[in-house]
Amino acid sequence: MNTPVYLDNQATTRVDRRVIDAMIPLMDEVYGNASSTQHEFGWRAEAAVAQARRRVSALVGALPEEVIFTGGATESINLALKGAARGDRARRNRIITAGTEHRAVHDTCTRLEAEGFEVIRVPVDRYGMVDPDDVRRAITPGTILVSIMAANNEIGTIAPLEALGALCSERGVLFHSDATQAVGKIPIDMHAMHIDLLSFSAHKMYGPKGVGALAVRAGRPPIRLIPLLDGGGHEKGIRSGTLNVPGIAGFGVAAEIAAAVMPGESRRLSGLRDSLVEGVNEALEGVRLNGHPTLRLPHNANILFPGANADAVMMAMKDIAISAGSACSSASAEPSHVLRAIGLTPQETLCSLRFGLGRFTTEEEIAYTIGRVNETVRKISRKINQKTNQKTEMRRANAAPAH
């Protein structure tokens, strides 16, 4: 077994070799601009994009013409939320979301608040689950859209998308979901789930970085999005800019592979994840799984190790790549807003680690990780206990009466 072991697959994934092989010709031989309709180089590039659009749409239960390619999930989220809100601001101004959303949603909503929109953030329970009844109560005639992520990027909890989508459809409100962590890992069917706007990315599902998609439900009434970018009117005028043909083609292959292997891959990864959780739970006292015990992503384990600072554990285990939360928030010293929202104390949030398993994770790597985590947490806990005992003895000595 080689080290370091990579268990940060919710931050990004290794690109599947089959994806790389599909991309190389589009950087070397088929290098035309997909918008160049006057010659074969452009036609071949456009054909590659069309094939990818079919593959990506099939993965999420959309029509090919409903898929808009973007530079990533963050752009897709911004386009969905800002585009829909600004497109309907003359009639309505309320947006409903949850307190555990990814920063891409949270910060976009904060920006819209500064523009005068009203943002309602519904609470979650101790597992990070949104109650559709809370959303129902928050919807008013002035509500433009509801945005609830399909699966949480830190704790892996899966949202009741079908119930939320049906509720929004019934009330005539747009339903957006950030499905970045879910697509390719669990089944997503945007039409069956009544999702109007679906954001996701290639690099979370063994595709390249720098390419994502926004699926926009077609039909009546039409969804009006104000574009973020002005330019050549690419992607039906919704997302201007020369298409990243190699990235889009890679995205398509990654989607096709995910659709084929998802059932078996989910079973394998959930088994490895359960082994990891059981392995540390049996050896260490007070260990707790953050998030829903069963309604969670198959490859996610967010674990609280009481008394063991997460940063100290990671620094002591440089041979294992894990994280203390969202990669997009790693520069912040603030406690995780997701863990705080499910009721953890600030200290507990700083003692929680996220393990993200993936397609290339092996049984040997999980066995190795269990041993290293148990050993490291015990050492750190012993040091903390020794320091605590020393401080207690010093306080007793200082409090003792002089003779």
Residues 375-386 have pLDDT tens digits of 999 999 887 655
Same domain, 240 and 285: no
Q: What crossing angle do the helices spanning 245-283 and 363-399 adopt, rounded to 10°?
A: 50
Residue 57's nearest CA partner among 183, 223, 246, 240 is 183
Q: Distance (Å, rounded) from C-alpha 98 to C-alpha 154?
A: 14
**Average of pLDDT values for 318-327?**
84
**Average of pLDDT values for 68-74?**
98
Same domain, 168 and 147: yes
As annotated, the active-site residues are: 328
Task: Work out the number of other CB atoms within 10 angstroms of the CB of residue 336.
Answer: 26
Same domain, 103 and 250: yes
Same domain, 108 and 170: yes
Residues 254-290 have pLDDT tens digits of 999 999 999 999 999 999 999 999 999 999 999 999 9
What length does the chain have?
A: 403
**Average of pLDDT values for 221-238?**
91
Residue 381 in any domain: the answer is yes
Same domain, 201 and 284: no
Residues 156-195 have pLDDT tens digits of 999 999 999 999 999 999 999 999 999 999 999 999 999 9
Residues 91-121 have pLDDT tens digits of 999 999 999 999 999 999 999 999 999 999 9
How many Cα atoms within 13 Å fall on the side-chain side of residue 296? 24
Residue 147 in any domain: the answer is yes
Q: What is the 8-class DSSP label of residue 355?
A: E
Residue 54 in any domain: the answer is yes
Residue 312 in any domain: the answer is yes
Same domain, 45 and 177: yes
Asked which of 183-187, 228-232, 389-393 is least confident by mean pLDDT, the reply is: 389-393
**What type of residue sits at position 139?**
I
Same domain, 198 and 326: no
Q: Which of 204, 230, 257 is the last residue of a domain?
A: 257
State whether the Cα torsion 88-191-34-26 is positive or negative.
positive
Residue 307 in any domain: the answer is yes
pLDDT of residue 403 exceeding 70: no
Q: Place 393 in a pLDDT band, splitting at 50, 70 and 90.
A: low
Residue 163 in any domain: the answer is yes
pTM metric for this prediction: 0.92
Per-residue tokens: 114: 């500064």
Residue 157 CA: distances (Å) to CA of 60, 113, 192, 327, 339: 19, 27, 20, 17, 12
Contacts of 109 (CB under 8 A, 6+ apart): 81, 95, 97, 101, 119, 121, 147
What pLDDT score does 396 carry? 60
* CA angle, 287 then 267 then 251, to 5°: 105
The per-residue DSSP string of 252-284 comes to HHHHHHHHHHHHHHHHHHHHHHHHHHHHHHHHS
Q: Distance (Å, rounded) from C-alpha 95 to C-alpha 30?
A: 43
Number of structural domains found in the chain: 2
Contacts of 242 (CB under 8 A, 6+ apart): 33, 34, 35, 232, 234
Same domain, 271 and 231: no
Same domain, 184 and 321: no
Q: Which of 257, 284, 304 is the last residue of a domain?
A: 257
pLDDT of residue 395 exceeding 80: no
What domain range is 325 assigned to?
5-9+262-398
Q: Which residues pair with 105 in a beta bridge?
A: none
What pLDDT score does 382 carry? 81
Residue 100 in any domain: the answer is yes
What pLDDT score does 330 carry? 46
What pLDDT score does 237 carry? 85
Q: Place 233 in a pLDDT band, splitting at 50, 70 and 90.
A: confident
**Average of pLDDT values for 349-354?**
97
Average pLDDT of the chain to the nearest whole number: 93
Q: Place 232 in a pLDDT band, splitting at 50, 70 and 90.
A: confident
Contacts of 118 (CB under 8 A, 6+ apart): 93, 94, 95, 142
Residue 403 in any domain: the answer is no
Same domain, 252 and 267: no
CATH code: domain of residue 312: 3.90.1150.10
What pLDDT score does 37 carry? 87
Q: Which of 241, 257, 273 is the last residue of a domain?
A: 257
Same domain, 248 and 142: yes
Same domain, 41 and 178: yes
